[in-house]
Structure 1
Amino acid sequence: MRRTTPTRLAAIGAASALALTACGIGGGTSEEENGGDAGSENGGDAGTENGGDADAEISGEISFMTWNLRGGYEEYFTDLVAEFEEEYPDVTVEWLDHPPEGFQDTLSADAAAGNLPDVINVGPELAYSLAAAGMLMDISETDPEAAETYLPEAWEGMTFEGAGGGTYGYPWYLNTGPSFFNTDLFEECGLDPENLPETYDELFEQGSTMGENCDGVSMIGRLPTIEMMGMYGVELMNEDATEFTFNNDEGVELVQHFIDLYSDAGLTAEALNALQTGELDAFKAGEVGWLPGSSYTLQELRDTAPDIYEAAAMGPLINNTSPNMYIQAIVVNADTPNAEASMAFSRFLTNAENQMEFAQAANVFPSIAELLDDPHFTEDDGTDNGAVRVEAADQLREAVAWWPPAFSGGADVEYLREQIAQAIQGQKTAQEALDDAVAYSNNRLSNQ
């Protein structure tokens, strides 16, 4: 991956902040800077880009559920629904927005009762559970031409080998982010802020130096995650995605790096229990040197840790393979009575023009490859937000959704963390820790 010169964020100049909603998407208004009709450059409107003119026979009432988006984006979705209904006058769309709490429980209950909405905004993990239960439409069968619209890795991220091999969602928006480094902490701990780590080997080496020279701080703020394993080069699952395999040599090697780092005082005890929010809090407190961030990290630092923001430098996400990305998708109920209308709305929502508008408004990234060539994502406008946006958009061109959709964000994540923490504390070996974690996850998967 191309390495850019680390950028000291505060030196670029401040940019206007976007208000964050509870689900982590930035609020705000769309900027009219996409340089022309994105829809015409990438296949036109929903009626023409996937199978011909808008079909007058498409009709019916459909429900569309999002997660905690009404507060920041009510006007966007209200207008989008109105435009779709104007194009398809025989279709009525009911927009439902679920509050931040209990979304998964609500969908599980709706699925059990046969009351799933027709079109739903979910991530791959929740989509996998619904697809494995036969609840979602396989759009690789019902709408195969859609595959040509989206980034191949985004489409692949919604293709679930462990659930029949189908593709169970239209990729909508993506997120990734650069690495952030606390250059003041680097200087304080005897490291060169002009020579920031670019590889995992350099990260661990400099982490040991930081631990030797400074007490109570560490380079890394949390234990290895499933995404880090993927970026390190660990094979996470077998080819047909029926078993986890991250207890291989590369996985053991990664965990051993953390064991050694802890022995060198380069990893604090607090990191053994930290999740993503704890890692961010430690970075903001000046206790951690490296933070794998997202497009939202910059505002968080600017608003809540201005001293750290002033000291922050930015570079690509450290990886040995490909950087990680996160996906939000639009899925269709397999039992919807109005399949054509549901697919037409899903294509309309995720077409180039609407993706571009939402990406600009929400500070996220489109899943359509051509849109990443838009000046909004390629030209640094001289602001720190612009620098992060260009860095992250460039990263998406080779990013992979490393999180296996079959890996539980609750049970599997916590059990993996517990096993690695025990290995770091000398209670078991790295191999034993990963063997136990793999056995746990495979047992849960086989009983799903």
Structure 2
Amino acid sequence: METTRRTFLIGLAAVPLAGCGLGGQQQSGGAVSGEIKGEITFQTWALKPKYTDYVNGVVDAFQKQHPGTTVKWVDQPADGYLQKVMADASAGSLPDVINVPPDLSFPLAKKGQLVNLDEAMPEAKGDYLENGWRAYEIPGKGGCYGFPWYLNTGPIFYNKALFQQAGLDPNKPPTTFKEAEEQALQLAQRSKIAMLGQTPTIVDFALYGVKLLSDNGETFVFNEPKGVELLEIYKRMYDAGALVPEALTQNYTGSGAKFMAQQTALTPGSAYDLGKFKTDAPSLYANIGIAKPITNTGHAAMYVHGVSVPAASKNKPTALAFGRFVTNAENQLKFAKISGIFPSTKGGMSDPHFTTEDGTDEARVRVAAAKQLGDAVNYTPVQFSSQMQESLRQQVADAMLGKKSPKQALDDVVAECNRLLK
């Protein structure tokens, strides 16, 4: 069971750009050369005011290293950020360096609006973890369209007291989906407490071992038998009261709140959430259990954010240099230590901050997550838009309510996803 795609710094709700009139295609090709000088604009997503000093420090250091450059930093609020990027893309007025997740880079790159880093700056690839770099590669197009900036993953938190009350071993949380179902049904039967607060996301299908896309990446195929099998598990849990009914509603965002109120027994999260439990729910914190993510694949889910350079930038040499600078090992490590995220650069996770426990639960979660990221997977396909997410949520809800079979629900959502993909 995993969270929906998120950055852990801010909520991430991907807004589709496909079919929204992205005009002004800007093709890029070949290595970019030229003097690093002049002005560029760098746009971030909801980093002010908490990280103002950090970003200003990075900008100052870059300008000092490259005399004659000026970096204008613009921070946009979380609400409406992706709509803002969409509008700027349509108008051909994207900033020189933009903070975007992989699923937003996909429609921009498909329209030729982002610089292909494999061509423009091929030497940069060696700086980053392979799974981070791969997150910005566009299937069917070739190339990478974003410098990986920060990564995250997280453990499963569970309520030991609720487990114990239901006769479950508080030291043996579920590690696979089969175990999760068995324990969830037992919990619901004996204590009338739901194990889960959210329906399955596309990441859950991947964690279950479902094939999401065809080999050529051109069609979704997660309505395969294994996908139906997962939805049938959730249907059994829902019918037994092991999944909260509120999870089926369109705008439900209360999974974390349900867990904090001890109305559900298990939730995915991060070190940030652990600190919140400690402050806002001390009685829960006293009974908190920390476990590895539930997965059939052996690989945890990874979430990634990065920065891209629009092909329309009038100062590509400086924009590319700054994109690489803001995401270099030194700057990423500083950012990770103040924000609770993880660096995407090679060797970044070898810092003692990510390898040494100090006896606190926060350090325990951080060290475990850092180890997890070594072979974690960015399971969310870059092609999977917010419209597709909404279609999946609605079809899952219909299956839970018995309006259609799990097989029919998945057939319908895959058909819709493939329609949107084209």
Partner of 1:279: 255
Partner of 2:365: 388
Q: What does 1:25-424 correspond to in 2, within 5 Å? A: 57-162=35-140, 164-215=141-192, 217-273=193-249, 277-321=253-297, 322-409=299-386, 411-424=387-400
Gap runs ≥5 in structure 1: 1-19, 26-50
- Sequence identity percentage: 42
Cα pair 1:221 1:274 within 8 Å, conserved? no
Query: Compared with structure 1, are the counterparts of its residues 229 and 219 closer, same or farther at alpha carbon in structure 2 (3 Å cutoff)?
Result: same
Q: C-alpha displacement at 1:266, in angstroms?
A: 2.4
| Per-residue CA distance 1:118-138 (angstroms, 9 max, x = gap) | 001111111112112211111
Cα pair 2:196 2:266 within 8 Å, conserved? yes
Length-normalised TM-score, structure 1: 0.85
Query: Compared with structure 1, are the counterparts of its residues 21 and 175 closer, same or farther at alpha carbon in structure 2 (3 Å cutoff)?
Result: closer
Cα pair 2:8 2:270 within 8 Å, conserved? no
Give aligned pairs, total: 396
Distance 2:157 2:177 in 1: 15
Partner of 2:22: none
* 3-state secondary structure, aligned to 2:72: strand
Partner of 2:411: 435
Q: C-alpha displacement at 1:22, in angstroms?
A: 7.6
Distance 1:165 1:103 in 2: 27
Cα pair 1:180 1:314 within 8 Å, conserved? yes
Query: Compared with structure 1, are the counterparts of its residues 239 and 101 closer, same or farther at alpha carbon in structure 2 (3 Å cutoff)?
Result: same
Distance 1:439 1:233 in 2: 20
Q: C-alpha displacement at 1:400, in angstroms?
A: 0.6
Query: Compared with structure 1, are the counterparts of its residues 172 and 21 closer, same or farther at alpha carbon in structure 2 (3 Å cutoff)?
Result: closer
Q: What is the letter of the counterpart of residue 94 of structure 1?
A: K
Distance 1:390 1:149 in 2: 22
Gap runs ≥5 in structure 2: 1-6, 13-30
Q: C-alpha displacement at 1:369, in angstroms?
A: 2.9
Q: C-alpha displacement at 1:331, in angstroms?
A: 0.3
Query: Compared with structure 1, are the counterparts of its residues 376 and 22 closer, same or farther at alpha carbon in structure 2 (3 Å cutoff)?
Result: closer
Root-mean-square deviation (CA), in Å?
Answer: 2.0
Cα pair 1:160 1:167 within 8 Å, conserved? yes
* 3-state secondary structure, aligned to 1:72: coil
Distance 1:369 1:197 in 2: 32
Q: What is the letter of the counterpart of residue 441 of structure 1?
A: C
Cα pair 2:9 2:339 within 8 Å, conserved? no
| Per-residue CA distance 1:364-422 (angstroms, 9 max, x = gap) | 1000131111111011111121111001111101111111121123x222221111121
Distance 2:252 2:402 in 1: 24
Cα pair 2:158 2:290 within 8 Å, conserved? yes
Cα pair 1:261 1:267 within 8 Å, conserved? yes
Length-normalised TM-score, structure 2: 0.90
Query: Compared with structure 1, are the counterparts of its residues 440 and 24 closer, same or farther at alpha carbon in structure 2 (3 Å cutoff)?
Result: closer
